[in-house]
Amino acid sequence: MTDAATTEPKKNTLMETMGLVRTISVDPNEGRALLEFEAKAAQCHSGNIVQGGFVTGWIDAAMAQALIAKTDAKLLPLSLDIKIAFYAAAHPGLVHAEAWIERLGRKTAFVEGRLTTPDGTVIAKGMSTVRLVPMPS
């Protein structure tokens, strides 16, 4: 496992827009990734609750990072479907998106992930079927 606690997003990227604070860890052997995002008030709707699309995006980003790491950045993950189950509301503050590969084939992968508070309270869980295509050069 690599310790990527000091990895920060590049400026003006999608990950910066999504609020990526840092990549906590990536394990290419296991196909796992753990990312930290900052949920912001601007991402909330009524009751100071983060809109579900951001929650989905954070889990999806972690699932993509797990696949990219496992395939040595040779394959690009394209979501064919994604299912998210919401267990609790996300509020402004830090959240952790963790993902792992359940099954990796030549052209298709099945990945899962979850979003938690830093203390481990589960906010949402997700699963996705992913098409793998060669990374553009």
CATH of the domain at 49: 3.10.129.10
Q: What is the pLDDT of residue 120?
A: 96
Q: Tell me what pLDDT residue 3 has.
A: 53
Q: Residue 47: what pLDDT?
A: 87
The b/e string for 25-64 (b: 16+ C-beta within 10 A; e otherwise) is bbebeebbbbbbbebeeebbeeeebbeeebbbbbbbbbbb
Among candidates 82, 75, 92, 134, which has minimal Cα distance to 112?
Answer: 82
Give the residues of the chain that fall short of pLDDT 50.
none
According to the model, what pLDDT value does residue 46 have?
A: 87
> How many domains does the structure of the chain reveal?
1
Enclosing H/E stretch for 83:
strand 75-86
Range of the domain at 52: 2-134
Can you tell me the distance from the alpha carbon of 69 to that of 86, in angstroms, rounded to the nearest whole number? Answer: 26
Q: What is the pLDDT, as a whole number, of residue 60?
A: 98
